[in-house]
Amino acid sequence: MIFTRRFFLLFALGVTPALLLWSWPPIKWLTVVYDLLLIGAAWWDHNRCEDVSELEVSRVLPRRLMIGAENEVRITVSHRPSRRFKLAIKDEFPPELELRGDRIISLSPQRSETSATYRLLAKVRGDFHFGDIVVRWPGPWGLAVKQARVSASTVVKVYPNIREAKKYELFAQRNRRLITGIRRTRTRGHGKEFESLRDYVRGDELRNVSWTATARRGRLMTKQYQIERNQSIVVMLDAGRLMTSRIEGMSKLDHAIAAALAIGYVATRGGDNIGLLVFARHLLTYVPPRRGSAQMQRLLEALYNVKAQMVEPSYARAFQSFARNCKRRSLVVILTDLVDADASAELLAYTSTLMPRHLPLIVTIGDNDLRTLVAEIPREVADVYRQSVAEELLRQREEALARITELGGLALDVPAGQLSLELVDKYLEVKERGLL
């Protein structure tokens, strides 16, 4: 039995006269009788509370909780009310998620079903545990409340934010550089897949003239090509030590995952195959390249619980795993971070082995803090040393990316906030130019 504020106020009201008139002998007995009657009334009030068996409390969660978004949680109470009363509901949500709103929800069940909502902000991905739902409701006199614990323990998954990835598919449609399955538009470019024939016009390349069709129709005919579908893209995602650093409230790994989903969503909508390889010291997960909306679900399941590890990544094991599993020519997007010359040299050595069978694209997340430090005017001797180190790190990174370009690959070094956009744009450029 849990006493209410009203009970304690009445109890204090009964004790106050005894303290003021303690020298008067009957006041002691009157106080004892008053307190016993009050406790008895509270006990009766507790027993008159609604029967817990008449309450049905449930939690309704979103189909998919997403990082960086406010996720709505609904508490539903089904009840056959015999009187009007208030419920206080406390949901045992995961402490890792940030509550937006009141911790305790108040409801007044006046219909057969009533519901209330609260929101949780997820800042990290992974598995999280919801506990039970605790419900309290007062008796008719408001002297005591009854408490019930509703079993509602469950494990939920917080996924990367797929809504952000969908924005880049709209970007691809708007630029009309990619064949989309929704509108079934054809994008003519420098692809290799035959699309149609048309009359020759001045300025067309002679290599595109169809001499067979020209002879048959008696006039010059030109072949038109469209950007190829069903090509293969594999994202190699580094989950090593350097990806643990945070930029704009998110780890570099989270930014990389968002970029991987963005290119994955655009690729699947454009009819291409998308695959995933996550590595740190060892291979963490591998999703073979496939196309279709079901592939995006596989990518989400593979990425939602990936954590950066405090170890140096093994590019050797990662590239060996890729070579064993992927024989078809692919655009290999390597999302990683480069700091020192040794790591750059190892990455470049293994990246060069991909060519010419595959087209590698090394993508690093630019460090705005380093660039800001270099741009500042030094005020002390220590600032000069810090700037020298920052400049050396930036120089090593630029040299590593320039080296992969010289070898025939592609490279990007972009700020975290522009990573997804720049990666999707580069992918569309590769498609448009027919580099695969």
Domain layout of the chain by residue ranges = 2-47, 52-159, 189-226, 229-433
pLDDT of residue 245: 86
Q: Name 12's Cβ contacts closer than 8 Å, sequence gap at least 6.
A: none
* Residue reference for tokens 């990835």: 165
Per-residue pLDDT in tens (0 to 9) along the chain, 436 residues: 787 788 888 888 877 777 777 677 777 778 888 888 888 888 887 777 666 566 788 899 988 899 888 899 998 887 765 556 677 888 999 998 999 877 777 776 656 677 888 999 998 899 999 999 988 877 777 788 888 888 889 999 999 988 877 777 666 665 544 443 333 334 444 445 556 677 877 777 777 788 887 888 888 878 766 556 689 999 999 999 889 888 877 889 999 999 999 999 999 988 899 999 999 999 999 999 998 889 999 999 999 999 999 998 999 999 999 999 998 999 999 999 876 666 677 888 888 888 888 999 999 887 666 666 667 787 787 777 777 877 777 777 777 777 777 877 888 888 888 898 899 989 988 888 888 7
Residue 306 · residue 261 · CB < 8 Å: no
Listing DSSP states for 237-287 in one string gives EE-SGGGGSEETTEEHHHHHHHHHHHHHHHHHHTT-EEEEEEESSSEEEEE
Distance between terminal CA atoms of the chain? 72
pLDDT of residue 127: 93
Q: Name 283's Cβ contacts closer than 8 Å, sequence gap at least 6.
A: 277, 317, 318, 321
Rg value, the chain, Cα: 33
Superfamily of domain 229-433: von Willebrand factor, type A domain (3.40.50.410)
Torsion of CA 298, 304, 310, 314, to 10 degrees: 10
Q: Give the SS3 label for residue 182.
A: coil
Angle separating helix axes 315-325 and 341-352, nearest 10 degrees: 20
pLDDT of residue 48: 72
- Structure token pair of residue 149: 């614990």
* Residue reference for tokens 């057969």: 112
Query: Whole-angstrom Cα distance, residue 122 to residue 93?
Result: 12
Domains 52-159 and 229-433 are alike in CATH topology:
no
- Check residue 202 and report its DSSP letter: T
Domain 52-159 architecture: Sandwich (2.60)
Query: Whole-angstrom Cα distance, residue 312 to residue 194?
Result: 46
pLDDT of residue 193: 55
How crowded is residue 162: how many other Cβ atoms within 10 Å of its Cβ?
18
pLDDT of residue 180: 38
